Structure formats: C-alpha cells, structure tokens
Chain A
Amino acid sequence: NAGVTQTPKFRILKIGQSMTLQCTQDMNHNYMYWYRQDPGMGLKLIYYSVGAGITDKGEVPNGYNVSRSTTEDFPLRLELAAPSQTSVYFCASRDQGALSEQYFGPGTRLTVT
C-alpha cells in the first residue's frame, strides 16, 4: 500500500497565483485532514473531512478551499497565493474511532514570493 501520497513535493508560486495540492490515500479511510506546519508553531489544522461530500473548517482555513468528491482524494486549493501561505503542508487520513492513528503524507513545501 502507498498510504497517503501528496503531490507536488515542492512548489514555488508568485503572489496571486493559484494552485491545488493533491492528496490521495488508498486505505479507504473516511477521515482526512490538511495541516500546515510553520517553524516553531507545530501543525495547524486547515480543513478536514469526515467522508466524501463532507468538509469543514479547521483552525486556519482562510485563503484555502477543499473538496471531497471521493473517499480517496482530498485536494487543497489556494486561490490567491500570499507570502503568509509559505509553509509545509501535510495531508493525513485515519480510520473510524477517536483513537485511530492518523497517517501522514510526506508533505508539500510551498514558497510564495
């Protein structure tokens, strides 16, 4: 199993450009999450989904959008990139149950200049 995969690994955007970060999991997990990681700040939840067609905001959703049309995919959209969105983005998924482990992808390092 590939687990959680993310593409691209690295990306440089100019201010105002748009892009989609891709996330796919092959574990048939209902729950999926997007986090951003900034130095010294830990991980902050951007958006999450509890199943196909259901998404909700996390702690830091401004400037991002998500969709969940299938169980496997959970893309994150940046519409108008800003320097404040320079970060490392992680996607994660987990099975049912509060104690289920979250499985993380390898991350996407995004720089907005």
Chain B
Amino acid sequence: AQSVTQLGSHVSVSEGALVLLRCNYSSSVPPYLFWYVQYPNQGLQLLLKYTSAATLVKGINGFEAEFKKSETSFHLTKPSAHMSDAAEYFCAVTSTGTASKLTFGTGTRLQVTL
C-alpha cells in the first residue's frame, strides 16, 4: 500500500519569501512521486515528477523538489514566491505494477501576501 502525507493544509508566505510545502510518502516498493498544482476552478496540472534519475527535480514556474529516501520525503520549494503561485498543491505517489494509479495527499493551499 502507498500513501502520502502533506503537512499543513494551509501555508501563507509573503511575496518574495521562500515557499516550502512538505510531503512524506510511504511505499513498500520504489516510488514515483509527483507534485501537481490546481488553480481555482481548474483541473490539476503537473509541476514536476521524481523518476529516480536524479534526487533533485526541477519543475515549471521555478519550483523544485528533492527526494530524500532516508526521510521518505519529497518537499516542494521555490526560492521566491510570486502572487501567481497562490493555488492548491498536491503531492502524489505511484509505482509500477499498479496501473500507475496515483495516490494523492490531501493538498496544501498556498496563500501569497503582499
């Protein structure tokens, strides 16, 4: 069984500040990990994914995430928040042999203030 835990349902940062959204996973097999973003009244779109090729993954819009097996974590970061980053962010896990069904975390809503 696989699961994902996102700590913090709401995170608020000032514009220009560091963004850190936390994700911890549980998986009995090597995981593939994803971060998706959902803007208001829209579907989800992929930010980045961990494929085991590199532990530091760069995604769109300046976001990146680091896979740490020892900590079972895949936290999402961005050095400088922009107002347009305000959205809900979902971490998800899958593995081979499961029809690549994604198991999502409960999401973190990011608020960016002036």
Binding site for B on A (CB under 8 A): 4, 31, 33, 35, 40-45, 48, 50, 56, 58, 90, 92, 94, 97-102, 104-107
Contacts and interface: CB of A to CB of B under 8 A. Distances in A.
Label chain B's interface by main secondary structure: loop
A101 B46 CA distance: 7
Contacts of B55: none
B101 A58 contact: yes
A107 B107 CA distance: 17
A50 B100 CA distance: 10
Nearest to A90: B43
Contacts, number: 59
B95 A42 contact: no
A87 B32 CA distance: 28
Interface of B: 9, 32, 41-46, 49, 51, 90, 94-96, 98-102, 104-107
Contact of A40 (B9, B45, B102): B9
A104 B43 contact: yes
Nearest to B106: A42
Given A98-B95, A99-B49, A43 B43 contact: no
Given A98-B94, A99-B32, A106 B100 contact: no
A51 B46 CA distance: 23
Nearest to A6: B43
Contacts of B101: 33, 45, 48, 58
